[in-house]
């Protein structure tokens, strides 16, 4: 049995790839070759291209990991020949024709509404004053404040980009549910994971679970690579 040695990490909306530092450290120590995609989050097509660019350069199969909106990116880019397994971390897993926009269009009653401000010049922002509570409640206030002020604007085209052929229909998938997520409701995460037939692990964590619990995320990636 050959195990997978490459891991490609795709970040989500409002953040950049530096949030993967903890996961990167865990996996690099184990000998994985880890690449972090710096996807611009302007459009889904652009992010898929950025991810394929990284995948093209690999010498063998990889685990492709997406956080949050990054889940839509890996669902579209994951049909790449070098992708052997998918890992969703508190992420969207759209089906054919679905976009993040359609998935969040009808939130279940009572679900917390993410504090996304109305679009400005084609970009969305998170209300910086509510960033800590909504996005990263389990991170220290100081770090959350930095992330709020360093946030990357999210293009409305990225939100609207529909997946054409979901990779989770063709690749085995793993899913980490963040039980205290106030951006993507945990029941929605569980439903998407079940639809994709993913192997599910839950962690008590905020939407920024990849920052607060890198060990749990890394363990699931190891499992996907085994």
Interface contacts to another protein, rule CB under 8 A: 25, 29, 138, 140, 176, 179-180, 199-205, 212-213, 215-216, 219-220, 223, 226
In a 13 Å sphere around the CA of 61, the CA atoms on its Cβ side amount to 13
Least distance between another protein and beta carbon 61 (Å): 18
| Nearer of residues 60 and 140 to another protein, judged by Cβ | 140
Smallest distance from another protein to CB 204, Å: 4
Nearer to another protein by C-beta: 63 or 163? 63
Cβ at position 104, least distance to another protein in Å: 24
For 3, other C-beta atoms within 10 Å of its C-beta total: 10
Integer CA distances (angstroms), 50 to 3, 41, 73, 159, 218, in order: 25, 10, 10, 16, 23
**Which CB sits closer to another protein, 160 or 204?**
204
Residue closer to another protein, measured from CB, 25 or 56: 25
CB 167 within 8 A of CB 76: yes
| Residue 105 burial class via C-beta count within 10 angstroms: exposed 0-12, middle 13-18, buried 19 and up | exposed
CB of 13 to another protein, least distance (A): 24
For residue 204, give the DSSP letter.
S
């Amino acid at each position: 049995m050959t195990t997978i040695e490459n891991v490609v990490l795709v970040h989500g909306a409002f953040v950049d790839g530096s949030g993967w530092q903890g996961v990167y450290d865990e996996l690099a120590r184990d000998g994985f070759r880890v690449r972090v995609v710096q996807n611009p989050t302007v459009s889904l097509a652009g992010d898929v291209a950025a991810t394929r660019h990284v995948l093209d350069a690999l010498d063998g199969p990889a685990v492709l990991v997406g956080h949050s909106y990054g889940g839509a990116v890996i669902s579209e880019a994951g049909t790449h020949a070098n992708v052997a397994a998918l890992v969703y971390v508190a992420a969207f897993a759209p089906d054919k024709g679905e976009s993040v926009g359609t998935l969040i269009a009808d939130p279940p009653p009572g679900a917390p509404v993410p504090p996304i401000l109305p679009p400005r010049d084609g970009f969305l922002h998170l209300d910086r004053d509510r960033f800590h509570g909504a996005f990263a409640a389990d991170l220290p206030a100081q770090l959350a404040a930095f992330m709020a002020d360093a946030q990357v604007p999210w293009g409305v085209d990225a939100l609207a980009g529909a997946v054409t052929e979901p990779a989770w229909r063709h690749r085995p998938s793993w899913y980490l549910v963040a039980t205290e997520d106030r951006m993507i409701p945990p029941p929605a995460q569980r439903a998407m994971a079940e639809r994709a037939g993913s192997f599910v692990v839950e962690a008590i964590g905020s939407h920024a679970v990849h920052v607060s619990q890198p060990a749990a995320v890394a363990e699931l990636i190891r499992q996907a690579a085994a």
